[in-house]
Amino acid sequence: MSTMELTKDNFDEIVADDGFVLIDFWADWCGPCRQFAPVYEAAAERHSDLTFAKVDTEAQQELAAAFEIQSIPTLMIVRERIVVFAQPGALPEAALEDLIGQARQLDMQEVRASATTPDDAAQAAEPTTPSDPPASSGPASSA
């Protein structure tokens, strides 16, 4: 499976239907984004069981703002509607593969339980909209 374009119109459907979504926030004018694109596309081909989405930050400014994107490229991983990883910068292929492996191994019950407040836990369980991005449990460690 190749990557798909994520927009405010299809966001809920894609993130709700797929339990594991990688999101690449990018822009056409961004050199590092263009360098990361083939690495991301190749990972999408290798991991056809996962959803690989791309958000053009110029065309989808509402989505970029909802996720507080300050720098591109930014990679996010959303599992069960919870942001489990978010980091700006292009990753080399080996680092992306390692990150995908770590995200696959996450115990999502533990992730939900680690929400800092009961409100966070409730929000993590509720559907979200582009104006209300998935709850974040913080970036995954790269250890």
CATH number at residue 42: 3.40.30.10
pTM of the complete model: 0.78
85: containing domain: 4-90+107-134
pLDDT in tens, 72-129: 999 999 998 889 999 999 999 999 999 999 999 999 889 888 865 445 544 544 444 4
Residue 139 domain-assigned (yes or no): no
CA distances from 124 to 9, 29, 116 (A): 21, 34, 11
pLDDT in tens, 26-39: 999 999 999 999 99
Q: What is the rounded average pLDDT for all residues in the chain?
A: 84
Q: Is the peptide bond before 130 cis (omega within 30 degrees of 0)?
A: no
Active-site annotation, residues:
30, 33
**CA angle (97 as vertex; 92, 101 as ends), nearest 5:** 150
CA distance 117 to 113: 9
Residue 75 domain-assigned (yes or no): yes
Residue 100 domain-assigned (yes or no): no
Q: Are 100 and 50 in contact (CB under 8 A)?
A: yes
Q: How many domains does the chain have?
A: 1
CA distance 109 to 88: 26
Residue 45 domain-assigned (yes or no): yes
Question: Is the confidence at residue 57, as pLDDT, over 80?
Answer: yes
